[in-house]
Amino acid sequence: MSGTNFVDYVKICCRSGAGGAGAVHLHRDKLTAKGGPDGGNGGHGGNIIVRGNSQLWTLLHLKYRKHVIADAGGPGGSGLKTGADGEDVILEVPIGTVARDAETGEVHFEIEHEGQEEIIVPGGRGGKGNEFFKSPTQQTPRFAQPGEPGQDLWKILELKLLADVGLVGFPNAGKSTLLSVVSAAKPEIANYPFTTLVPNLGIVAYRDNKSFVMADIPGIIEGAHLGKGLGSRFLRHIERNSVLLFLIPVDTNNIIKEYEILLNELRLHNPELLDKRRVIAISKCDMIDDELEKALLAEIPKDKQSDGTPIPVLFISSVGNKNIIQLKDVLWDQMNERSFLAR
* Tens digit of each residue's pLDDT (9 = 90 or more) over 90-137: 999 988 899 999 999 899 999 999 999 999 999 999 999 999 999 999
Quick one: pLDDT at residue 194? Answer: 41
Domains of the chain in start order, with CATH, are 1-159 (2.70.210.12), 163-342 (3.40.50.300)
Q: Has residue 222 got a pLDDT over 80?
A: no
Q: Residues near 215 by Cβ (< 8 Å), separated by ≥ 6?
A: 161, 163, 165, 166, 167, 199, 200, 201, 202, 237, 241
Specify whether the CB–CB gap between 127 and 83 falls below 8 A.
no
Task: Specify whether the CB–CB gap between 266 and 166 falls below 8 A.
Answer: no
Q: What is the pLDDT averaged over residues 208-229?
A: 66
Residues 39/22, Cβ–Cβ less than 8 Å? yes
User: pTM of the predicted model, to two decimals?
Assistant: 0.68
Output the pLDDT for position 142.
Answer: 93
Query: What average pLDDT does range 56-83 have in this prediction?
Result: 92
Return the pLDDT at 72. 97
Position 55 pLDDT exceeds 60: yes
Give pLDDT tens digits for 279-333. Answer: 999 988 988 888 888 888 887 877 888 888 889 999 998 888 899 999 999 999 9
Q: Tell whether the model's pLDDT for residue 341 goes beyond 60.
A: no
In this prediction, residues 183-208 reach a mean pLDDT of 63
- In 10 A of CB 79, how many CB atoms? 13
Average pLDDT for the chain: 84
DSSP bridge pairs for 154: 13
Length of the chain: 343
User: pLDDT at position 336, please?
Assistant: 85
